[in-house]
Structure 1
Amino acid sequence: MISFNYEGDFKLENEQAVSQWVSATILNEGYNEGEINYIFCDDDYLHKINVKYLDHDTLTDIISFDYSVGKELHGDIYISTERVTENAKDFRVEFSEELHRVIIHGILHYCGYKDKTDQESKEMRSLENHYLTKR
């Protein structure tokens, strides 16, 4: 089950369509959907989580906590809508495109994809682009 939670004024448009898109991505990657929580928040909220749990004193657009068991995906995905807004401006894309990229990015991490090296980042970006065409 995919749920959407909000710490602030932001509200995701068309939750049902986004949920179906994420579910289809999970199945396409060969995994089963467990309990996945998206939490949309601001920079301050996510920064506190970054410092407290990851010991990183930086701003970020997404933090995902993976509680998956085998092929069943479970986790909490925190997304700063302020960072997504800034990134959309920097990348010269619409907010909704960048938001969907970040939404699927978290799921791809749960599916085992990494983005620490240049090659991993290229593969992740390619998969993000692929799934963005499926929404």
Structure 2
Amino acid sequence: MKIPLSEQSMSAILDLQLASDCADIPKQEDIQLWLDTLLLHQQMTEKEITVRVVDVTEIHQLNLQYRGKDKPTNVLSFPFEMPELNLPDGAQLDDSMSTFLGDIVICAQVVTQESQQQNKLLNHHWAHMIIHGTLHLLGYDHIEEQDAQEMEGIEIAILQKLAIDDPYQNH
């Protein structure tokens, strides 16, 4: 018997940071559902993710600083990398350190603009961007065609669980 998602324990620990006064940012509950659905699909539990919603100026600066691209973008992902530590003999790291996946930074205005240009429902495009960014945190990318097909297939499967159409179809 399949247990409805709402009856399962939460699998994503969401740190939502709103650094935008954009009016059409999704509710925290929606973002939580999208992350929980992704982690359930990936058979993961108790992963912490920071989602920071920003305006064009901040995403543009981050895209230039970290990717060398002098323009705004929709979403940036910053996977957490555990630093090499020299611990005293017998010392152990707290297990909570291994649960942090990283940070996703999303530009509200770019997501809104793209959803209008691509004729997509705004909340559906937000869901796609959250899932897309989180998959980058998990090590997926779309630089090579084969990797892109794998990542897109996972995105489509997760979005389907949320009753959201294939975002790559007719766009």
- What interval of TM-score do these two structures reach, taking the shorter chain for normalisation? 0.7 to 0.9
Q: Does 1:43 align with 2:61?
A: no
Deviation at 1:123, TM superposition (A): 2.3
Q: Does 1:15 align with 2:42?
A: no
After superposition, what is the alpha-carbon deviation per residue over 1:22-77, rounded to whole angstroms, capped at 9, x for unaligned? 12321321334332111111221101111223332122111110006697442110
Give the TM-score normalised by structure 1: 0.84
Q: Does 1:63 align with 2:76?
A: yes
User: How many equivalent pairs are there?
Assistant: 135
- Give yes or no for contact 1:7–1:41 (8 Å, CA) kept in 2: yes
Deviation at 1:7, TM superposition (A): 1.1
What runs of 5+ residues in structure 2 fail to find an aligned partner? Answer: 1-12, 83-96, 163-171
Partner of 1:133: 160
1:53 aligned partner, one-letter code: Y
Distance change >3 Å, CA 56–CA 13, structure 1 → 2 = closer
Secondary structure in 2 matching 1:9: coil
- Name the larger-Rg structure: 2
Higher-strand-fraction structure:
1
- Give yes or no for contact 1:62–1:77 (8 Å, CA) kept in 2: yes
- Give yes or no for contact 1:73–1:110 (8 Å, CA) kept in 2: no
Q: Does 1:121 align with 2:145?
A: no
Q: How does 1:80-99 map onto structure 2 within 5 Å? A: 80-99=107-126
Secondary structure in 1 matching 2:139: coil
Give the TM-score normalised by structure 2: 0.68
- Give yes or no for contact 2:52–2:106 (8 Å, CA) kept in 1: yes
1:77 aligned partner, one-letter code: I
Higher-helix-fraction structure:
1
What runs of 5+ residues in structure 1 fail to find an aligned partner? Answer: none
Distance 2:16 2:25 in 1: 8
